[in-house]
Structure 1
Amino acid sequence: MRIVAIAAVADNGVIGSGEDMLWHIPADFRRFKQVTTGNTLIFGRKTHEQIGRTLPDRRIIVVTRDEDWADDSVEVAHSITEALDLAAQTPEKVCYVGGGSQIYEAAWPFLTELDITHVHQDPEGAATFPLISQREWTEISREVHEGYDFAQYRPTPEDS
């Protein structure tokens, strides 16, 4: 199973500021829907609640430490490893990790790919994406647009 972090990340590493969307890029929303439809998505509880709705045609697993939290529209896990174990039990070939910050950090050792929208802004915000180090990750493609780029990364081979 491929495990892919998918995120829109500002030039300063910020991905969020609580309740507010920091940018509105329709092409990013369309691309997110296109690549995640038919696959599994893992979100943290806060990210799931911020989205505010169920995303159709995707299996959603929400990670929360709250043992009493429940939502009938999603599956619940209490750690990233539990969420990945659930994801591995289905025929979907790709599991997307969709945030937030703590979920990206927890999933980092398990990721096989990064699918990043680099947003050319520097907003303020407490939620950040882990640093994409060239020692760890090699960019394999980039699609340049005005104000943002779509980029994919794979782990850098150990002998590089």
Structure 2
Amino acid sequence: MITMIAAAGENNELGKNNDLLWHLPDDFKRFKQLTTGHHIIMGRKTFESFPKPLPNRTHIIITRNKDYKKEGAIVVQTLEDAFNIAKDDPKPYIIGGGEIYKIGLPFAQKIELTRVHETFKDADTFFPEFSNEKWELISEEEHPKDEKHKYSFTYETWVRK
């Protein structure tokens, strides 16, 4: 089951200048818990935004640059190649960025979306629009803002109808 996992603002904002617009420690913990032990599929810029490869996950980087190589990651040129490498993983995750989410949406069966309850005017990357006609919200878990979280957010799990 191909799953997209993301955190997005009220207007689907993902980030700016290859960085997140917020710091939500509990969302990071959830991301780690869900993706550990699985293949994570991402674009080059998303991979380069990490200080180092994330532990206990197989990193698959999609880039048009045929000469791109990174220790600790598998580099491919297409989403189809990424899916082929992850074919034995029952739950590979597409983790971004915006362009990879856009091309991955037609293939995804599930979306784990952290909806950050704020709008961010200076975002330059966005999660793709998806419709309630094709997707069903099967669970929601609200998280209020607190001393560690500047914004309230909701964990939403969507499945393709």
SS of 1:66's equivalent in the other structure is: coil
C-alpha contact (below 8 Å) 2:13/2:124 kept by paired residues: yes
Residue of structure 2 equivalent to 1:126: 124
Contiguous gaps of at least 5 residues in structure 1: none
Runs of 4+ in 1 over 6 A off after TM superposition: none
How much does 1:20 deviate? 3.3
Letter in 2 for 1:7: A
Q: How does 1:11-50 map to 2 (within 5 A)?
A: 11-50=10-49
Contiguous gaps of at least 5 residues in structure 2: 145-151
Residue of structure 2 equivalent to 1:64: 63
TM-score, with structure 2 as normaliser: 0.92
Q: How does 1:1-160 map to 2 (within 5 A)?
A: 2-88=1-87, 90=88, 92-123=89-120, 124-146=122-144, 147-156=152-161
How much does 1:21 deviate? 2.5
TM-score, with structure 1 as normaliser: 0.93
Letter in 1 for 2:134: E
Q: Deviations over 1:101-150 (max 9, x none)?
A: 11011111110100000001111211000112101111000001110000
Residue of structure 1 equivalent to 2:149: none
> How many percent of aligned residue pairs carry the same amino acid?
35
Q: Deviations over 1:23-66 (max 9, x none)?
A: 00000000000000011100100000012311111111000000
Distance 2:55 2:95 in 1: 15
Distance 2:124 2:133 in 1: 25
Q: Single out whichever of 129-138 and 27-36 deviates more from structure 2.
A: 129-138
Letter in 1 for 2:36: T
Distance 1:117 1:40 in 2: 20
C-alpha contact (below 8 Å) 2:135/2:159 kept by paired residues: yes
> How many pairs were matched up?
153
How much does 1:72 deviate? 1.6
SS of 1:51's equivalent in the other structure is: coil
